[in-house]
Structure 1
Amino acid sequence: MSAKNLIAFTLIAILSISAIFNPYTKQYLGQLKNGYVPASKGQDELYNQIIEAAQNYQADSQDAKIDRVWKAMPGYNGIRVDEKASYQKMKKNKVFDERKLVFIQVKPKVHLTDLSPAPIYRGHPDKPMVSFLINVAWGNEYIPSILETLKEHKTYATFFLEGRWVKENPELAKMIADSGHEIGNHSYSHPNMAHISATQMKQELSQTNEIIEATTKITPTWFGPPSGAYRDETVKIADAQGLKTIMWTVDTIDWRKPSPQVLVQRVMSNVHPGAMILMHPTDATAKSLDTLISEIHAQDLKIGTVTKLMDEERIIKLDKQDLKQEETQDQ
């Protein structure tokens, strides 16, 4: 190799090495790896805006845990912006649009199913959702009205049905299930679950699940103890039968026949993200339900079944409007 060629080769090598270790070159290569191919100054600015906005919407996932006060608590997904997908959605107009940000949810490492058996009193306190728990062992005359109000608001509740009641009222039980509501186990004969034997507990739970399955084709996965009475053994026996024990956060005390105004005030003064609201098919509940749903929504809270409240899906809001989230989730 001539001296002239050697010098040229050396210069090219030096320039190549400099480019590789240049931070701006590395940033560019990283952007290319993420699917970003800048074609204009406007697109460069757009990508940078997306990167800057992404920092405002990042949150770590939170593991499920046994809380000293609230007992078993579900986890909550973390969140991050998918910069590549967001850029692809905005690049046509070359304008940053917050509503077109694409989010990816990041699952926690510990889930509710990983915890040892423990009662559940509420959902995750960061999740802007509440649940209606409707215990049914009587109050047949108010059920059609309650179902109609829930239908009007496109709202779904979790109905905990007593097994004996289902046997005596199969058509009402099917009406509840056919309306799309979740069905839970409320024991068979409404005993004090803290005082009966383990054998009786097993029978109360299994017999109820059997009659509910035979009547509605639904297999309950949640158990609501009558009057909230249980002991540790109750929770363990329920868990062994595939049932997690559900308590409540807010009690309407509707069985005391409060006025609708008192019931609404009682709930709204105590409601919060993750709350589970206990009620029964009563006149007070039937008359207050429409107002109650509207006022809960006015607090920017969703209303969902226990299953929806307990899942780890993060609800993302921009300008108080729900954003469509990507179904793809990190493991």
Structure 2
Amino acid sequence: MNSFFVINGSKMKRGLLVVLVAFFTALFVYTQTVSTTTVFKTDNGTRAVYSGKDGIALTFNIGWGDKQAVPIIEQLVSENVKQATFFLSGSWAERHPDTVELIKKSGFEIGSLGYAYVDYTDLPDDKIKRDILKSQEVFTKLNVKDVKLLRTPTGHFNEKVISISDKLGFSLIHWSITTDDWKNPGVDKIVENASKTKKGDIVLLHASDAAKQTSKALPEILNKLKNKGEFVTVSTLLSNGNIKTKLVP
């Protein structure tokens, strides 16, 4: 015996419309997420963004000391660099509120370097979360608002660290150019390393007291990079789109 199924055309059209709307909504959300966040997962593993498209993002890590930071901030201001990003250790920030305020008043962006100098890849989940949130508490007390960028204290991270930072609402930031200024290899070598920068790069520098040659190298670095692209914050660089990613082992 033959059986016949009658399909209501109008209901089918409405159903198809719902499916299409859902599909394109999901596609839109996905596209926006990829273009504005710094980490995401693929079939090949977890990836972190290390550079963008337009502009050059100068970033300065500060973990300890009170001698190098202010001269570097003042140099940037005197050279008319209006945008840069400072990643501050929470423990350092609470000991140097005046310098934190100077960074804010100078118009520079502030990101988190965690609270203590610890390797997140060696810590259990709860201690990683605790360190990140403790640093955030310090920034809140210092009236530093909208801290959404995180760089791990030692620069080391893995899929676990990325997942935790993402759940806490932070974008994990790496770099594409390191000047190795913390090694104090000499002013000329620091400038040489920085000179490799191209448009879209995130440049790692330090304003901690351990980096004794950075302030001396900075004028020449700025002079060499000015013609390569506009200096922007990390947030601006990421918002420009065309983010490049790096596979996390």
Work out whether the TM-score is over 0.5. Answer: yes
**Distance in structure 2 (CA, Å) of the matches to 1:133 and 1:114:** 16
Report what 2:74 is aligned to: 148
Secondary structure of the residue aligned to 2:160 is helix
SS in 1 for 2:116: coil
CA distance in 2, matches of 1:133, 1:199: 28
Match of 1:304 in 2: 232
Partner amino acid for 2:153?
Answer: P
Matched, 1:189 2:113: no
After TM superposition, the structure 1 = structure 2 runs for residues 156-195 of structure 1, keeping only pairs within 5 Å, are: 156-195=83-122
SS in structure 2 at match of 1:131: strand
- Pick from 151, 155, 174: which aligns with 1:247? 174
Deviation (angstroms), 1:178: 1.8
Q: Is the 8 A contact 1:119 1:244 kept in 2?
A: no
| 1:112 aligned partner | 36
CA distance in 2, matches of 1:230, 1:141: 29
- The 8 Å contact of residues 193 and 225 in structure 1, kept in 2 or not, is answered as yes
SS at match of 2:60: strand
1:38-117 aligned at under 5 Å gives the runs: 111-113=35-37, 116=40
SS in 1 for 2:142: helix
- Show structure 1 runs of 4+ deviating over 4 A: none
More contact order relative to length (CA 8 Å, sep ≥ 6): 2
Q: Deviation at 1:196?
A: 0.2
Q: Distance in 1 between matches of 2:185 and 2:38?
A: 40
2:56 to 104, 110, 130: 130
The number of aligned residues is 206
Segments of structure 1 that go 5 or more residues without pairing to the other structure are 1-62, 64-74, 76-107, 315-331
Q: Residue 59 of structure 2 contacts residue 87 of structure 2 at CA under 8 Å; is this kept in 1?
A: yes
Whether the 8 Å contact between 1:212 and 1:219 is mirrored in structure 2 is no
Cα drift, residue 115 of structure 1:
6.5
Residue of structure 2 in register with 1:292 after alignment? 221
Going from structure 1 to structure 2, the CA distance change for 1:234 and 1:115 (only over 3 Å counts) comes to closer
Specify the alignment match of 1:93 in structure 2.
Answer: none
Which one has a bigger Cα radius of gyration?
A: 1
What displacement does 1:287 show? 0.8
Percent of matched pairs sharing the same residue: 24
Could you say which residue in structure 2 is the equivalent of 1:238?
Answer: 165
Kindly state the Cα deviation for residue 265 of structure 1 after the two structures are TM-superposed.
Answer: 0.9
For residues 219-239 of structure 1, the C-alpha deviation after alignment (integer angstroms, 9 at most, x for no partner) is: 311101122111211111111
Displacement of 1:313 in angstroms is 7.1
Q: 1:132, 1:114 → 2: CA distance?
A: 17
SS in 1 for 2:141: helix
C-alpha separation in 2, matches of 1:121 and 1:152: 28
Query: Higher mean Cα deviation, 112-121 or 305-314?
Result: 112-121
Secondary structure of 1:225's counterpart equals coil
**CA 144–114 in structure 1, closer or farther in 2 if over 3 Å, else same:** closer
In 2, distance between residues paired with 1:198 and 1:242?
15
Asked if structure 1 preserves the Cα contact closer than 8 Å seen for 2:59 and 2:203, the reply is yes
Q: SS state of the match for residue 226, structure 2?
A: helix
Residue 225 in 1 paired to residue 149 in 2?
no
For the residue of structure 2 that corresponds to 1:277, the secondary structure is strand
CA apart distance, 1:110: 5.2
TM-score, normalising length from structure 2?
0.76
The amino acid across from 2:101 in the alignment is K
Corresponding position of 2:20: none
CA–CA distance in 1 between the matches of 2:216 and 2:118? 29
- Contact kept? 1:248, 1:277, Cα under 8 Å: yes
Q: Work out whether residues 177 and 216 of structure 1, in 8 Å CA contact, stay in contact via their aligned partners in 2.
A: no
Secondary structure of the residue aligned to 1:289 is helix
Alpha carbons of structure 1 residues 194 and 267: separation in structure 2 relative to 1, 3 Å: same
Write out aligned runs for 1:309-328 (5 A): 309-312=237-240
Aligned residue among 174, 187, 203 for 1:277:
203
CA distance in 2, matches of 1:140, 1:157: 19
SS at match of 1:242: coil
